[in-house]
Copies of this chain bind each other. A is one copy, B any other.
């Protein structure tokens, strides 16, 4: 059975974005440190149309993660970049460029109805106005027998987690502190969200990639 999955880089103090996001720091202050491991690997660069990059355990983790993915769900601010001056323009084309790195259907939760937006390289953004469950249904249909990923942000993750719909998380534990920002785990009842730890992969870059199955 295809899974609903999440891949998320998290600081040692539990944040997935730093404090005070702005045009200058779209991932919050210090937030870019969470993603440096991914920027460097071949598998990530390839999906973003870049050549080169490291082939190491980090790269294998990215390969493994994207291999069986057939669709992605994301929140409105992850589509638009959230903090750009054009973020308030409901017709802006997001911050993912002409050839977004997904290469599969992406479902964007929003309050603004809008026609689907086909991009280069196999990505089509479809805008869903009737909530997370509807987005999941559409994403599953589009993904066929492949998995669906939640792209973020944290609030959307929490909604799927609280609803018991998430099957597996992979947290990329990055050994930095952000001191504030967006916590991955908030607004959850800890008695109702339980995990079983799965595969652990460590990397020379310092990141520890850990899978957690959500117990139902």
Residues of A participating in the B interface, judged by any CB pair closer than 8 Å:
12-14, 30, 171, 173, 175-179, 183-186, 188-191, 193-197, 200, 202, 206-208, 210, 212
Contacts and interface: CB of A to CB of B under 8 A. Distances in A.
A193 B175 contact: no
A185 B176 CA distance: 11
Given A177-B185, A200-B200, A13 B12 contact: no
Contacts of A202: 197, 200
B177 A193 contact: yes
9 contacts: A12-B195, A13-B14, A13-B190, A14-B183, A30-B190, A177-B190, A177-B193, A178-B190, A179-B189
Number of copies of this chain that the complex holds: 2
Given A13-B185, A177-B190, 15 more contacts: A12-B14, A12-B195, A13-B184, A13-B186, A173-B173, A175-B195, A175-B196, A176-B195, A177-B188, A177-B193, A179-B185, A196-B206, A197-B202, A197-B206, A200-B202
B179 A190 contact: yes
A12 B179 contact: no
Contacts of A185: 12-13, 177, 179
B194 A176 contact: yes
Which of A13, A176, A183, A206 has most chain B Cβ within 10 Å?
A: A13
Given A185-B13, A208-B210, A175 B190 contact: no
Contacts of A188: 177, 179
Contacts of A12: 14, 171, 185, 195, 212
Contacts of A190: 13, 30, 176-179
